[in-house]
Amino acid sequence: MDPEGCQIELRLLPGRLVLQKSLSPLLIVSPAVGTAICHPNGISLQVYPEEQDDVFPILAAMLRIDPASVDYFRCSEPITAGFTPDNLHLFLSIADGLRTADEGITVTADYQRMEVAFALGGIVGKTASLGTDIPNNIMEIDDSEFVYAVVVGIASEDFRRIIRHFRHLSPFVEAFVTDEEVTFTFGPEEIALRTENGNCIIGGINGYHRVNIRLSLLNPDSLLEASELSASVWMFKSPDSPDLLSFPVQQLERKNLVLRAQNLDQLKSESEQQLSASSMEPKNEFPELNRNLYPDIEPYSTGFLKVSDLHTIYWEQSGNPNGHPVVFLHGGPGGGTSPSNRKFFDPEFYRIILFDQRGAGKSTPHACLVDNTTWDLVEDIEKLREHLDIPEWQVFGGSWGSTLALAYSQSHPEKVTGIVLRGIFLLRKKEIDWFYEGGAAAIFPDAWEPFRDLIPENERGSFIDAYWKRLNSDDLETQYAAARAWTKWEMMTAHLIPNEEHIKKGDDDKFSLAFARIENHYFVNRGFLASDSFLLDNIEKIRHINTIIVQGRYDVCCPMMSAWDLHKAWPEADFNVVPDAGHSANELGITAELVAGNEKLKNIIRRNGP
C-alpha cells in the first residue's frame, strides 16, 4: 500500500523552536517509522513514508556513528522538541514502549549555536556537522553532496557571519533573516517554508524518501544569543555509494530560492517584493540567486581603441549584445584580463566588456609607464564607453580594480548603474607599507625572503623605491629579475592557501614585467590621488549607487582594514566578508559572493525596469 504519508512541521520563533510530527489517517494501516538518535552532535529524527525494519543500521551508516553509542527509538505519536538556554528536551508519546511519555529524553549540551537541518534524498558518507570555532570551522561537509540549501535565522551581525559560512559551502545555499514566525511543513507531496502572514518562501518539492532533522543546542555563553535560531533545508543528490542504503533513492531537483536582501534590516520587505515579482522570472515565481561561475564563452567582438598619441587599449565584448552593459576592471595595475573574467556574469543578461588597461595584457606599448596614471585610465574607461555607444553601465573591479572602480564612479556617477567591489584597495600609504615594507612578511615569511633578498641591506629602508630602481634599469635582465621577485611575492600571498598555478605566473617574464613595473609606478606615486583619503572623502558622490562589497577576512594583499573603513564610510553598500578566504577572486567563497553580487544587481535592474 502506498501511504498518503506523514507531515512534519517546524515552527521557528524568535525565542523558541517547536517541532511537531503528525500522521495522516492512512498511516494507521501502514504507520510511518520515526528514528531519533541522541549523540554528541545533538538529536537526529528520521521519518520515513513507509515502515522499514532496517532503519537504524541505515541511519548509523549514514551518520558514521557507532550504534552502541546512540539512543534511538521508533514512534508513531506526536513529537515536540523544545530548547532552553541549558538543555534540549525531546518529549515523546511512544506506543512501542522504548520510551514513555513522562520520561522523554533530555540532552544537556554546550554547542556554539542551534542548528536545524532538513536533508531530503539519499545522504551517505559525511553528514553536516558544525565546528566549535565560528570564524574558521562552521561546517565540515563535501561540497559535492549539496544540491540545495536554505538558511534561516534571526537578524544579528553574528548570524550574518554564519549565513556567509553556509553560503560559502555550496553555490546553492540561500539565506535570509526574519523577525516573524517561519513555519516549515513537510508532507508527502510538498515541502514548504512560509512566513507568519502566509507567504511561501520555498515550496513545491516532492519525491523525497526521508527527512533528516538534526537538532543541536546553542551555547548561551557563545557569540550568539539563545533566541537566534537558525535552520537549513538541504536536498541531496542520489548517493555515490548506494550500497550503503537498502532502499532506492530518487534524484531531487532544485526548486525556488529566495533572494537575500541587500541590508539585513530590509530583508522582510525585499522578500515580500520577491514574492510578488513573478514577472521577473516567467517560469519561476522566485528569482534564483546563482553563485556558480558561468560557463566559458567567447567574445562576439574585439578591437583596439587608440586612447592617446602613445597608448592603444585592447577591448572585447561577450554575452548578450543587447544585454545590460558591465565593464570589468582588472587588478594590478598591470594585471590584464583573462577569459575566465567573463564567467562572473550571466551571459544571457549582461553585455560583458573587458579591456586591458594601459601597458597591460594586449594593450600597447607593453609595460609602458609614460602617460599612465589613474586619471588617464578613468578617461580611457569613458572613451571606451562612448566608443561602444553605451549610455551607462555596471562597474566591476577587484583589488586595484576596486580602486579604479571607485575613482571612475566618483568621476562619472551618472554613468554607473551599480558597482561590485572585491579586495578593497584605497591606495593609502599604510596599505602599501603593510604589503611592501614588512607587515605582510609576518604572515608569509617564506614568501617574503626571496622578495627581500633581491635588495641589498643598505637599500631596505624602502623596498618600493629599491624595486623602482631595478624595474626601470637600463639592463633588461635586471628588470626581469626584479619583476619576477615582485610578482611572485604577490602571487604567493594572494590565496589563503597558496595556489601553485597562480604562483607560476611570476615566471612569465612578459606578464611579470608589466605587472611589476606598472604596480610599482603607481605605488611610488601614491596612485596619483590628491590625498591619502581621497577615495573615502568622495563617497558622497556615489552613495546612492547600488553597491556590493566582497572582502576576504584573511586578505594579506589588501587587508580588511580598508574594506572596513569603506564600509563605515558607506554603510548603505552591501558589505560581505568571506570568513575563510584571502585576496584572490578565484577562492571559492569570494567567487560565490561575486557571482551572487552580480545576480543581485541583475534582479534589481529587472525589478526597476529599463
The catalytic residues are: 399, 555, 583
b/e for 363-389, b at 16 or more Cβ within 10 A? Answer: bbeebbbeebbbebbbbbbeebbeebe
Q: Is 476 helix (H, G, I), strand (E, B) or coil?
A: helix
Collapsing DSSP to helix, strand or coil, 207 comes out as coil
Give one DSSP letter per residue of 254-284, joined into a string: -----PPPSSGGGHHHHHHHHHH-GGGSTT-
For residue 584, what is the enclosing H or E element? none
Distance CA 239, CA 217 (A): 29
**Rounded CA gap, 182 and 153, in Å?**
9
Beta-bridged to residue 33, according to DSSP, are: 48
CA angle 112, 117, 118 (to 5 degrees): 175
Q: Nearest CA to 588 among 241, 170, 63?
A: 170
DSSP assigned state of 48: E
Compute the distance between CA of residue 370 and CA of residue 384 in angstroms, rounded to an integer.
20
Non-local CB neighbours of 330 within 8 Å, separated by 6+ positions: 336, 337, 341, 354, 356, 357, 360, 361, 397, 400, 401
C-alpha cell at 323: 544585454
Find out whether 583 and 591 touch, Cβ atoms under 8 Å: no
Please give the Cα distance from 141 to 130 (Å, whole number): 9
Which amino acid, residue 93? S
Residue with cell 551607462: 392
Three-class SS state of 537: helix
Q: What is the C-alpha to C-alpha distance for residues 207 and 220, in angstroms, rounded to an integer? A: 38
Give the residue from 360, 367, 348, 251 showing the smallest Cα distance to 314: 360
In whole angstroms, give the CA distance from residue 37 to residue 29: 25
Helix axes 463-471, 429-436, angle to 10 degrees: 80
Cα 255 → chain centroid: 20
